Amino acid sequence: MTPDLDQHLADAATAIAAAADLDALRIVDAELLGKQSVVTTARKALGAMDVEERKVAGRLLNEVRAGIQEQLEARRTELESAARSEQLESERLDLTELDRGRRLGHRHVVTRTWERLEDLFVGMGYTVSEGPEIEDEWHNFGALNFPPDHPARDMYDTLYVDHGEPGSTLLRTHTSPVQIRVMEAGGPPIYSIMPGRVFRSDTADSTHMPVFHQLEGLVVDRGITFGDLAGTLEAFTRAYFGGDFTSRLRPSYFPFTEPSAEFDIRRPDGTWLELGGCGMVHPNVLEACGLDPEEWSGFAFGFGLDRLALMRHGIDDLRELFRNDQRFLEQF
């Protein structure tokens, strides 16, 4: 009986090691220790033995049984821990992976144009100033040398706000009133840009919107000349658009600058694009802000920011910038 049991123990060890998972191990367990098993069958045979024989065989059987149980237990522990780590792995949630799949939005193309322009002028030593979108008549027109009832006011299709005296409160038609506010707030030297939203009662079409954005520039210092204005706009043109762009000034009229000019840029293909207005700050404007025109001089410019965004990205309809169609906005 002994060699048989030794052999059985060895076979059992092989079968236990071969059990690939807990289900397989349960079957092996039943085969080795269940009702039909060698051990159980041998135990039943003990009853037919005499006392001494039974003692020896019984002890031996117990050892074999314990040996098998021990091996089953060890294998079970091994398989259980493997199953646990497999489950952990399959249920693992990697939140960074989820995040990677999600599409984040980005800033609007006009906002990014605005920020690029700010960066560029800040790099040239300018500060950034802001003013209110709802203005009074004085800042939007009066202080900018528009005489009352002057036809130049008709250049701007003004949207008036029902507040105070009729005609006294309006949605600013340009960013030039911020020039006045900057000069009122502190004396020269002033090197500042004033980006912002402006309003005119225009009908929306591919090149006009009742709401759009401008960027104003104001420099006031001693000995500022028209040459400084032209040089600044040329430096800006090359820095913003690239070295193959250039600028020109054409005579024009604004009540708040004298002389005044239109500011155009030339694209590499030789075509010109009108960008905005500019000129030397009118002495009346300096005086309205308490500055002595004999001591100080300056230049100002203002141009449409949306148009820059259109040009830069090859967009052909201004209205697209304000429609908030995600399919459009995602492209930029």
Give the binding site for ligand PHE (CB under 6 A).
Answer: 174, 176, 216, 254, 257, 276-279, 300-302
Minimum separation from the CB atom of position 220 to ligand PHE (A):
13
For every residue of 210-247, DSSP letters joined together read SEEEEEEEEEEETT--HHHHHHHHHHHHHHHH-TT-EE
Where is 69: in which H helix or E strand? helix 51-91
Minimum separation from the CB atom of position 267 to ligand PHE (A):
21
Does residue 306 sit in helix, strand or coil? helix
Instruction: State the chain's maximal CA–CA distance in angstroms.
Output: 136
Minimum separation from the CB atom of position 300 to ligand PHE (A):
4
Minimum separation from the CB atom of position 285 to ligand PHE (A):
10
Measured from the CB atom, the residue of 188 and 279 that comes closer to ligand PHE is 279
Residue 49 near residue 103 (C-beta atoms within 8 A): no
For every residue of 22-46, DSSP letters joined together read HHHHHHHHHHHHSTTSHHHHHHHHG
Minimum separation from the CB atom of position 258 to ligand PHE (A):
10
Measured from the CB atom, the residue of 247 and 257 that comes closer to ligand PHE is 257
Cβ contacts of residue 31 below 8 Å, gap of 6+?
15, 37
Minimum separation from the CB atom of position 108 to ligand PHE (A):
22
Residue 128 near residue 216 (C-beta atoms within 8 A): no
Provide the edge-to-edge strand list for the sheet that holds 159-160.
Answer: 134-136, 169-171, 159-160
The 8-class DSSP code of residue 103 comes to P
Measured from the CB atom, the residue of 68 and 277 that comes closer to ligand PHE is 277
223 phi-psi bin (left φ>0, alpha ψ -120 to 50, beta other): left
Q: At 54, give phi and psi (nearest 5°).
A: -65, -40
Measured from the CB atom, the residue of 45 and 235 that comes closer to ligand PHE is 235
Measured from the CB atom, the residue of 15 and 198 that comes closer to ligand PHE is 198
Measured from the CB atom, the residue of 241 and 301 that comes closer to ligand PHE is 301
Measured from the CB atom, the residue of 132 and 164 that comes closer to ligand PHE is 132
Question: What are the residues facing 193 on neighbouring strands?
Answer: 128, 217
Minimum separation from the CB atom of position 232 to ligand PHE (A):
12
